[in-house]
Structure 1
Amino acid sequence: MTLSVFLRRSAIASAVAATLSTGLAAPALAADRELLNSSYDIARELFATVNPEFNAWWQEQHDESVEVKQSHGGSSKQARAIMQGLRADVVTYNQVTDVNVLAEKGLVAEDWQQQFPNNASPYYSTTAFLVREGNPKEIDSWDDLVEDGVEIVFPNPKTSGNGRYTYLAAWAYADQEFDGDEEQIREFMNQFLGNVKVFDTGGRGATTTFVERNIGDVLISFESEVNNISKEYGEDDYDVVVPPVSILAEFPVAVVAKNAERNDNADLAQGYLEYLYTEDAQRLLAGFNYRVNDETVQKEFADQFPETELLRVEDVFGSWSQVMDNHFSSGGELDQLQRR
């Protein structure tokens, strides 16, 4: 199902709900089981479409109905909420470190990346640009973002996995462009961050700032998000730019074993994440402009995804723990650059 079809169906569903609210509604039937998915900020529409499809799949397989509930926000905030007591059965995040934090606390298995294919990432994306119609600032690559007069909007890397990938993509580009010269890289990053007009806490807030408040020349977000925004708000009003070099953004998933067992949902949580790897689910994910690994679906959607060099975080920066310590900890590279 494409996003446009989903939005049309949502509008119909809203109209029906409004009619039923006048007193004609029949009693709701309770699902046999309930699952809570903790997810990143901009995944609301995605999982609003995935969840009923999963319910139909699970009911066919196991003859029981499921209600999947969602908790959305910046992925780091979501991870903290689980550590503070949110009883999510599964996580579907956009940042490996936020799952690692849960593993360190014993909520997720230490070997969580080995429990599902592709490093427990059923889909992936990269970082892309959404610009105003006609691309008036001629933004085609990362070096265009450091020009005078260019106003950038993207989420705060301190609170958003989306924002972290943007920061890392810019740094990785500079590392490649300047052949590892740290002085030139930091100068580039200083100019890049200096052009940021607004640092929202999450991806959805950044979208609101750019689209509804009409602030900034370019919104930097996941390729999936900028394409979905363009379709939702009007393809004639925006252009999508995928730079020739960007970052590989994996979307990790994991069972929150401690919660799933306490909720008597261990099998359901496992099944929910396994479903994301099925061909039908992969096709649905690609319809929301996420890149997938299923070869059949890849071929079907090949024209939808421009070729770009995707740099791996681990290859450029080392482990994710090094990334967090060196760049996003208190007093790290990000803090130092913002003080310059």
Structure 2
Amino acid sequence: MKRFNFEFLFSGTNAALFGGFVAFLLLFFAIQPIQKRAVSTTLELLHVSFDPTREVIHEINEAFALDWQKFKGGNVQIFQSHGGSGSQARSIADGLPADVASFALFTDMEAIAKKKLLHAGWEKTKGVVSPPWATAIVFLVRKGNPKKIMDWNDLGQPGVGIITPNPKISGNGRLVFLSAWGYMLEKGRSESEAREFLKNIYKNVPVMDGSARASQVTFFQKKIGDVQLSFESEALMAVKESEGQLDIVYPSISIKVEPPIAVIDANVDSKGTRDLAEIYLNFYYGTEAQRIIAKNGYRPSDPLIAKEFESKFPPMKLFDLSVVGNSWAEVQSVFFAEDGIFDQVFKAIRNEGKR
């Protein structure tokens, strides 16, 4: 039998080629485990939220990923989805696989629960009972406030253009409506007077967008209207970005807004991401995230961080839900369901226009 000539492999040019081939194989097999380890240590979550939280959540996500890498030694990536609060809740109910969700309103979280996506007792979880952030409805006006808009009663004056989102689909829009309604009740006015007051305000709304961020584009970029009724967080950001073209007016009273945040139980259980999602949510209550929240215009829940940023957030007289209803379910039914008070007010405006 003919023997293989090993000398052929180790002579001259052939030796160099063979050595290169061996080196290639060694490098190839050395790289494979590294690539697999890199893929296996990249964990992923999806946080679905309402429009105005884009920037603050992005910054918190980056901080969380850095902390995770530093202390856990692996990689984590948090994906984001943003839109009108009610629209986002419907998307999750229809199958968007959110691991964590935050909404402008309790009712949007409740809509998720009705689809059996949250465990029993969800309404008593930390992110719902004591959210890590808060805000309020304020007025965003043109530089110098040419229409002299100082409080809610100025909004119904003839010639005032108001920009606010649609309460039927936007959490910001619903909270604006409730703030104006609460203003009247706090002044001891009757329900019929409150209805007339809201009718005069919404007669002055030329455009009702689907979200807070869309309303900001309408007001600032398209320059429509004299005042935008906005979350304080959005208003602070808009003033900064406008470079002196916009001012904030703080009304005499406003509704306290505490956006709930929760782990979506059904999704994290099916995806195996519960532990990571819960660690991520708890991160929002830490000092680092609380400072990020404050820097982005939301009032932090940590009193020490709130004290640190008190010059940024003027004291406000705020009322809670009990002023306008006994529960969020009642408020949704009375004000924003089909043929609710908002629909009745809007119908009255249309009927006036036909005369």
TM-score by length of 1: 0.88
Q: Could you say what secondary structure the match of 1:196 adopts?
A: coil
What is the CA–CA distance in structure 2 between the aligned matches of 1:61 and 1:317, rounded to whole Å? 46
Q: Does the CA contact (< 8 Å) of 2:324 and 2:331 recur in 1?
A: no
1:273 paired residue among 281, 304, 307: 281
**How far did residue 60 of structure 1 move?**
3.2
Name 1:89's counterpart in structure 2. Answer: 99
What is the CA–CA distance in structure 1 between the aligned matches of 2:202 and 2:174, rounded to whole Å? 12
Name 2:210's counterpart in structure 1. Answer: 201
**How far did residue 273 of structure 1 move?**
0.8
**How far did residue 180 of structure 1 move?**
4.0
The amino acid of 1:255's aligned partner reads V
Note if 1:294 corresponds to 2:310.
no
Name 2:197's counterpart in structure 1. Answer: 188
**How far did residue 47 of structure 1 move?**
1.6
Name 1:19's counterpart in structure 2. Answer: none
What is the CA–CA distance in structure 1 between the aligned matches of 2:275 and 2:100, rounded to whole Å? 11
The amino acid of 1:214's aligned partner reads K
- Name the Cα RMSD after superposition: 1.5
Note if 1:256 corresponds to 2:264.
yes
Note if 1:323 corresponds to 2:335.
no
What is the CA–CA distance in structure 2 between the aligned matches of 1:171 and 1:271, rounded to whole Å? 39
Q: Does the CA contact (< 8 Å) of 1:245 and 1:309 recur in 2?
A: yes
What is the CA–CA distance in structure 2 between the aligned matches of 1:118 and 1:75, rounded to whole Å? 15
**How far did residue 314 of structure 1 move?**
2.9
Name 2:143's counterpart in structure 1. Answer: 133
Worse-matched range after superposition: 50-59 or 280-289? 50-59
TM-score by length of 2: 0.85
The superposition leaves residues 218-262 of structure 1 with CA deviations (integer Å, 9 ceiling, x where unpaired) of 01110010110111122x101111112000001100110110111
Q: Could you say what secondary structure the match of 2:79 adopts?
A: strand
Say which one has the larger Rg: 2
- Taking a change above 3 Å as real, the CA distance of residues 242 and 166 of structure 1, as seen in their structure-2 partners, is same
Name 1:144's counterpart in structure 2. Answer: 154
What is the CA–CA distance in structure 1 between the aligned matches of 2:337 and 2:145, rounded to whole Å? 35
Q: Does the CA contact (< 8 Å) of 2:93 and 2:112 recur in 1?
A: yes
1:56 paired residue among 66, 71, 81: 66
The amino acid of 1:305's aligned partner reads F
- Taking a change above 3 Å as real, the CA distance of residues 153 and 233 of structure 1, as seen in their structure-2 partners, is same
Q: Could you say what secondary structure the match of 1:185 adopts?
A: helix
1:308 paired residue among 310, 316, 323: 316
Note if 1:165 corresponds to 2:172.
no
Q: Could you say what secondary structure the match of 2:209 adopts?
A: coil
Q: Could you say what secondary structure the match of 2:96 adopts?
A: coil
- Taking a change above 3 Å as real, the CA distance of residues 125 and 274 of structure 1, as seen in their structure-2 partners, is same
- Taking a change above 3 Å as real, the CA distance of residues 81 and 121 of structure 1, as seen in their structure-2 partners, is same
Gaps of 5+ in 2: 1-34, 349-355
Q: What is the total number of aligned residue pairs between the two structures?
A: 311
State the percentage of identical aligned residues: 39
Runs of 4+ more than 6 Å apart = none
Q: Could you say what secondary structure the match of 1:220 adopts?
A: strand
**How far did residue 117 of structure 1 move?**
5.7
Name 1:7's counterpart in structure 2. Answer: none
Note if 1:79 corresponds to 2:89.
yes
What is the CA–CA distance in structure 2 between the aligned matches of 1:334 and 1:84, rounded to whole Å? 26
Name 2:11's counterpart in structure 1. Answer: none
1:42 paired residue among 34, 48, 52: 52
**How far did residue 316 of structure 1 move?**
2.7
